Structure 1
Amino acid sequence: MQSLFQILMLLLDVLWFLIIAHVIMSWLINFQVLNLRQQFVAQVWHGLNRLLEPIYGRVRRFLPPMSGIDLAPLVVLVAVYALRIVLINNAAAFF
């Protein structure tokens, strides 16, 4: 059961990293530091979008329209962190 706990924590860490990378990359694209005409940047951007849009889409259904501000990544990051806290506080059940 300890292995299951460690795998869940690893998956949450990977998800956390992907969301942070997606947010930073979106800022860099919006401030024209990165250009989507570069093939590598475009591939990474579209790959992150394909991975994270299903998660963001479910969250966006519950969020009110914010006129250009997307709070879905923030909500997902808070949910991932809350899930980590719940798992860590209940780690005794895995041992």
Structure 2
Amino acid sequence: MLAVLQVVLLVLDIVWWLVILSAILSWLYAFNVVNSRNQFVDAIGNFLYRATEPLYRPIRRFLPDLGGIDLSPLVVLLLIFFLQQVIAIYLIPAVYRAGL
């Protein structure tokens, strides 16, 4: 059971970094730092969009429209942090106590 929790924590860490990379790339697109016509940059952007958009979409329905500011990555990062803390503080010690 502990191995399953560690895999879940690893997946949450990977999603954390994907969200951060997606936000950084969106800023680089917005300020024309990267060439969006470059195939490599476009492939990375497309991957990050497909990986993170399913996480953002439900949150965007509940957040107010703030114009050009998108707070959904911040909300996703806070949810990931919350889940990691719940696993680390409550679930892992419970698994140790249960001897699973």
Partner residue, 1:4? 4
| Residue in structure 1 matched with residue 88 of structure 2 by the alignment | 88
Asked if the contact 1:5/1:94 (under 8 Å) is kept, the reply is no
Please tell me whether the aligned partners of residues 4 and 94 of structure 1 are also in contact (alpha carbons under 8 angstroms).
no
CA shift, 1:81, in A, is 0.4
Matching of residues 31-50 of structure 1 within 5 Å: 31-50=31-50
* Alpha-carbon distance in 2 for matches of 1:15, 1:70: 18
Correspondence for 1:18: 18
TM-score (norm 2): 0.91
Partner of 1:70: 70
Offset at residue 94 of structure 1 (A) = 2.7
Aligned positions, number: 95
User: Cα RMSD between the aligned structures?
Assistant: 0.8
Q: How far off is 1:30 after superposition?
A: 1.2
The letter of the residue matching 1:4 is: V
Contact persistence 1:36–1:42 (CA under 8 A): yes
What SS class does the counterpart of residue 61 from structure 1 fall into? helix
Task: Extract unaligned runs of 5+ from structure 2.
Answer: none
Percent identical among aligned pairs is 43
Larger Rg: 2
Q: Structure 1 length as normaliser, TM-score?
A: 0.95
Report the Cα distance in structure 2 between the residues aligned to 1:22 and 1:83, rounded to whole angstroms. Answer: 20
